[in-house]
Amino acid sequence: MSDCKPEELLIAAIADMLTGLRHVAVGNSSPIPGAAALLTRARSKGELRVSLLGSRKHTAFTDGGKELFDCAAEGRIDAFFLGGGQIDGEANINLVGIGEYPQTKVRFPGSFGSAYLYYL
């Protein structure tokens, strides 16, 4: 057994699952999937296109979300990662916010985009 950290193991496992894809996009608050996408790109010798939203270095998008949604609608994104605001023990995910709508105490970033991308 190696002395790797849990996050390093997650990065390597996700990178293995991304092998063979053409384009992976990652939201602002997803550092582990972002690192996995960059690792996969390095392993593929640059063949994988990686779009890290909010990064100036690792995206070709000039207008972030709008271009991401266009790419997704056209079928040009093979995988997209969102940060989970709340995830329970049964893997139920809350990507919207905490509290009763419409007076939520906390609203998670990307809550509109997650619903939109789900249907694409």
Q: Are residues 22 and 74 in the same domain?
A: yes
Q: Are residues 102 and 45 in the same domain?
A: no
What is the DSSP-derived secondary structure letter of residue 109? T
- What gap in Å lies between CA 58 and CA 25, rounded to an integer? 10
Q: Are 48 and 21 in contact (CB under 8 A)?
A: yes
Q: Are residues 7 and 36 in the same domain?
A: yes
Give every CB contact of residue 63 below 8 A, 6+ residues apart in sequence: none
Residue 59 has pLDDT above 90, yes or no: no
Q: Are residues 57 and 34 in the same domain?
A: yes
Nearest alpha carbon to residue 77 among 30, 37, 35: 37
Residue 29 main-chain phi, psi, to 5 deg: -105, 40
Q: Are residues 24 and 54 in the same domain?
A: yes
- What gap in Å lies between CA 106 and CA 59, rounded to an integer? 28
How many CB atoms are located within 10 Å of the residue 58 CB?
A: 15
Output the pTM of the full model.
0.82
Q: Are 45 and 56 in contact (CB under 8 A)?
A: no
2 falls in which pLDDT band (50, 70, 90)?
A: confident
For the chain, what is the domain count?
A: 2
Domain residue limits at 36: 1-81
25 falls in which pLDDT band (50, 70, 90)?
A: very high
What is the DSSP-derived secondary structure letter of residue 105? S
Give the mean model confidence (pLDDT) for residues 36-64.
90
Q: Are residues 5 and 46 in the same domain?
A: yes
**pLDDT tens digits for 65-89?**
788 889 999 999 999 988 778 888 9
Token couple for 9: 């193991």
Give every CB contact of residue 5 below 8 A, 6+ residues apart in sequence: none
